[in-house]
Structure 1
Amino acid sequence: MTDQQIPTTESIPLASAPTPYVLAIDIGSGSTRGCLYDAYARPVKKHMVKVDHAFTEAADGTAEVDADQIVREVGEVIDGALKGVEPGLVKAVVMDTFASSLVCVDDAGDALTPCFTYADSRSAPQLARLREQLDEDAVHQRIGARLHTSYHPPRLLWLQDEFPEIFEKTAQFLSLGEYAYAKLAGISGAATSTMAWAGILNRRTCELDEELLAAVGVDRSRFAPIIDPSEPLTDVSPDVARRWPALAGAAWFPAVPDGYASNLGVGADTPTTSAMSAATSGAIRVIVDDTPEVLPSGLWAYRVSRTQSIVGGALNDVGRVTLWLQSTLAPLSYEQIDELLRAAPVEGTPLMLPFLTGERATGWAGDARAIASGVSSSTGPRELWRGAVEGIAVSYARVFEQLREVNPDIQHVVASGGVTSAYPAFMDVVAQALGFPVQVVNVKRVTMRGAAALALQVLHPEHPLATVPQTGLTQPDAAQRPYYDDLRRRFEGLYDAVIAH
């Protein structure tokens, strides 16, 4: 098949969609989705279902969601996505979820706690204790992740301190995807990437790090077996075929983190192409062979399999900042936002550190909060919006700079996510801060498509996937470089003065 004959990612009616089909499920920060995909990883029309949810958040750092509610949502989206699909046509079920989730489960397999999410920072005191006890640089190089509230180690200590009875009753510590699979299909197994994103996988051995588990007082037996993406599970509960005849005989791929799926969804599956996501949270990531020998302090390197890693850094707050601005401090029309983001930068724009729920890359200050500097009586919604977006853009640039240290062969930055579609000019500012072209791709539900692509590449590696349509390339303007260089210096100065101390 020639490139001209390979279709794009546009959705297709069921009657025209070639088999085999894959059922993909995406558990995000704001919703659970399910969709049927054809052999080209194209969504099948009228077979996509979405159920909204929201994290429970509080000023003490709480950011959690009801794990059993999510299980019910997953069942609901499977019901809807499979309507009218005959048995034998769906060959795989695959899931992606927001990463670094944790559910405590008892001997009966029932949840003892809500799902603690990546944004929950209540373990900040335990994080400080771990950083005093351990050589954080050594942990980072061994695990590929810093000690941080987003990850399991401080959270496991927090559970012991704050909920000792629950901790003692916990038979297994599961990710949200594992819990949903266990409840709905009787499956036990954690993806390599899921354990890596939890901050407890040794990136050299691809096994749970015994030194770190010993430091937090948790035995390896309380975690599920680790499964590579090429090892789907077929030994599922008979209840699956009874409830969903269309899934009889289907292989179930262990749930993977949304960051990994996002790269696959936009075709950023080689070391020359990095993927930038801009949704509720954000990230820049590149998939490389094996794992980097030395990792810069601001990045993570998560194993996605025994042969590959994904390297990058994440931002807690991207779309979350835009939603906060619109709902509280600086509501503007989409036309006004588009105009101000396309405009040249203006001296005197407020300097903002956009850490509403804490910082991950590059400084890993889990208890950081947003800061605005240079606000005066003349500052209005437009100036606040511009300052916030510039702050997010600099945060991306800090990650990208270290990413190119690891992999100087990056030739393309491909951007996707809800923010890129809601605010098309957003990436204009980001490209200026990066000093590097940014290509926005036009594909819906990137992470869910990436999950489907993962399954199809394992089951039918010889079959091509649909091509991803691209929009115009955003080029940096050399005339704006001095402004963004100065912005970066001011950002780092404020960060060092307030956050780093």
Structure 2
Amino acid sequence: MAGSGGRVGLDDALDPFVLAMDVGSTASRGDVYDAAGRPVGGDRSKVAHEFRTGADGASEIDPDQVVDELAEIITELAAAAPEGRIGGVALDTFASSLVGVDADDRAVTPCYTYADSRCGAQVRALRREHDEEQVRQRTGVRLHSSYLPARLRWLRETDPDRFAAARRWMSLGEYAYLRLLGTTAAGTATAAWTGMLDRHTGRWDPEMLAAAGVEPDRLSQVRDPGDPLTDVDPEVAKRWPALDGARWFAPISDGFASNLGTGAADPTTAAVAAATSGAIRVLVRDIPERIPPGLWCYRVDAGRSLLGGALNDVGRVLSWLHDTVQLGDTDPADLMAAAPDPTTPLVLPYLSGERSTGWAADARAVISGVSGATTGGQLFRGAMEGVALSYERIADQLRTTSADPQRILASGRVTQDLPSWLQVLADALGTPVEPVTMKRATLHGTALHALEVLAPDTAREPVPTGPTLHPVPEHREHYRDRAEAYDRLYRAVITGPGTG
């Protein structure tokens, strides 16, 4: 157990401060951190929102709504901060977002999110046209609906007028900066999550740009964290005097920020993120030459990469269970704390398609082993076991790489809303799991990424963690059997990446 995670008063805080913002799947948030990475003063700021989803695979949000949310957060936090103490402003957003912007710097499309799966046909076409393994080794990712080559082609083919109206294409964070600052750039991590960045060179990949039907001048400049934005509109300092002189850092992806924020900042530690979506990630030095087939590898700056895999549905599964399954008086925490039962249904938890490790974007959830005696509690347990087994499939491939993490740190809404599930995760992984007790670890990491530049020599406050969950030896055989059954069911009903 380490760190306190408590807020620090202005008199005790260390300069420079960072105003950090995070745009997630359910809300935009902001807070001010000191040079030690401690939240400063009063409470954080939050504005809730929701994605618009549809049965056709749509997942969108109004980009201007998010711009307004961030402006509100900046106004609130800057008003409470002393002038001259905020040295930087940093932003992360959910990864793989896309906004089309016209010549007047206005959005002409909604923001398409990572979960929008309507481009399945375009994924299949790209896989026929390109050597996917070469693309994956070059860009770090598969041809998949989560990434922009297929999404841009889908938009070009299905809505050509809207596609033509866009003069530039950018992530949600880039668009927010454009509207708020009058200038923008793509952080390297944000660019990597597009699926169109050459991870070896750090430049846009010509083959994927051609596949998407866009020219490089339609995309933003790519910037490492050490290269903050210039040419910020002078009106910004007039609007928010507390930010006068602050350095604005190009938007980064939430995955990179999450690793930094949980303390998984080197190859010895893996981060398990369990929010609406989820991932296992290891921050490694340099740019790995080869990537296992089920994983991705995102360049985050000139000297580091993020290696791992992602799940579309983690907290989304938990929310669906709460809304759909009748538990009566049964406490979900007790369901997770109980010993495993072989009569529990086996669940492939793909509510919105699969990313790692099979990359079947059209996959949907499968429930097997249900009888007339199956209870809502057993279904609940089976679905959350399925989520844990999905993580294990990623961990199994990570074990084949040079990454050799000695710690697993778990964070995110699910770890706090249902902490007893972490025992199921530890049992499924066969590895101890250490819960991060700090709330908003991603927001914390966004501040830390700026502090790497602004205050590199200041010691950071340790990240607070709870008691470690150790695998129960008696449960190991059960989860090995479940993993094998999961794999058999998967191969029987999921046709793999060819589905898009």
1:39 equivalent to 2:35? Answer yes
The one of 442, 458, 481 aligned to 2:476: 481
Q: Give the CA deviation at 1:108.
A: 0.7
The residue that corresponds to 1:499 in the other structure is 494
In the alignment, which residue of structure 2 is the partner of 1:153?
A: 149
Give 2:62's match in structure 1, choosing from 62, 66, 81.
Answer: 66
Instruction: Report 1:133-212 matches (<5 A).
Output: 133-212=129-208
In the alignment, structure 1 residue 371 sits paired with structure 2 residue 384? no
Instruction: Tell whether 2:491 aligns with 1:459.
Output: no
AA aligned to 2:358 is: G
| Counterpart contact for 2:16–2:455, Cα < 8 Å | no
Unaligned runs of 5+ in 1: 1-5
Structure 2 unaligned regions, length at least 5: none
Distance 2:463 2:84 in 1: 28
Question: Quick one: which amino acid aligns to residue 368 of structure 1?
Answer: A
TM-score, normalized by length of structure 1? 0.97
Following superposition, the deviation at residue 193 of structure 1 comes to 0.7
Q: Matches of 2:35 and 2:266 in 1, distance apart?
A: 21
The 2-side partners of 1:306 and 1:20 are apart by 25
- Give the match for residue 79 of structure 1: 75
Q: Deviations over 1:63-117 (max 9, x none)?
A: 0000000000000111111223222111100001000000000011000011000
Which residue pairs with 1:3 in the alignment?
A: none
**Structure 2 counterpart of 1:19, from 9, 15, 20:** 15
**CA offset at residue 342 of structure 1?**
1.2
Aligned-residue identity in percent: 49
Distance in 2 between residues matched to 1:398 and 1:462, nearest whole Å: 38
Select which of 428, 433, 440 maps to 1:438.
433
Does 2:211 correspond to 1:219?
no
- Secondary structure of 1:95 counterpart: strand
Report how far residue 500 of structure 1 moved: 2.0
Give, in angstroms, the shift of residue 62 of structure 1: 0.4
2:499 paired with 1:468: no
Cα displacement (A) at 1:395: 0.3
Structure 2: distance between partners of 1:413 and 1:323: 25
What amino acid sits opposite 2:439 in the alignment? K
Deviation at 1:331, TM superposition (A): 4.6
Q: Deviations over 1:481-501 (max 9, x none)?
A: 111111011111111111126
What is the aligned length? 495
Q: Give distance in 1, aligned partners of 2:212 and 2:194.
A: 14
Match of 1:339 in 2: 334
Equivalent-residue separation in structure 1 for 2:44 and 2:317 (angstroms): 28
Aligned position for 1:246: 242
Contact preservation (8 Å) 1:96, 1:258:
yes
Instruction: State whether residues 330 and 385 of structure 1, in contact with CA within 8 Å, keep that contact through their aligned partners in structure 2.
Output: no
Answering whether residue 347 of structure 2 is matched by residue 352 of structure 1, we say yes
**1:102 aligned residue:** 98
Structure 1 residue ranges, 4+ long, deviating more than 6 angstroms after superposition = none
The CA deviation at 1:125 is: 0.9
CA RMSD of aligned residues (A): 1.3
SS in 1 for 2:383: helix
Q: Report the alpha carbon displacement of residue 345 of structure 1 after superposing the two structures with TM.
A: 0.5
Q: Secondary structure at the match of 2:467?
A: strand
**Partners of 2:22 and 2:29 within 8 A in 1:** yes
Cα distance in structure 2, aligned partners of 1:71 and 1:326: 31
For 1:330 and 1:296, locate their aligned partners in 2 and report how far apart those are by CA, in whole Å. 40
SS at 2:44 equivalent = strand
56-65 or 12-21, larger mean C-alpha shift: 12-21
Aligned AA (1:198)? T
Aligned-residue offset at 1:47: 4.5
Q: 2:417 aligns with which of 416, 422, 434?
A: 422
Aligned partner (choices 260, 283, 289) of residue 287 of structure 1: 283
Q: Could you tell me which residue of structure 1 aligns to residue 300 of structure 2?
A: 304
Equivalent-residue separation in structure 1 for 2:8 and 2:492 (angstroms): 54
In structure 2, distance between residues paired with 1:134 and 1:149: 15
Q: What amino acid does structure 1 have at the position aligned with 2:80?
A: G
Q: Is the 8 A contact 1:102 1:115 kept in 2?
A: yes
> C-alpha deviations, 1:443-472, integer Å up to 9, x for none?
111000000011111111000111112211
Shift of 1:187: 2.0
How many Å separate the matches in 2 of 1:84 and 1:63?
35
Deviation per CA, 1:50-72: give whole Å up to 9, x if none: 00000000100000000000000
AA matched with 1:410 = P
Structure 2 counterpart of 1:166, which letter? R
Q: Is the 8 A contact 1:286 1:310 kept in 2?
A: yes
**TM-score in terms of structure 2 length:** 0.97
2:280 is the counterpart of 1:277: no
CA contact (8 A) 1:302 1:311 kept: yes
CA contact (8 A) 2:325 2:380 kept: no
Per-residue CA deviation, residues 293-337 of structure 1 (Å, 9 max, x unaligned), is 21111000000001110000000000010001101224566x721
Matched residue SS, 1:242: helix
Q: 1:331 to 1:151 in 2, by over 3 A?
A: farther
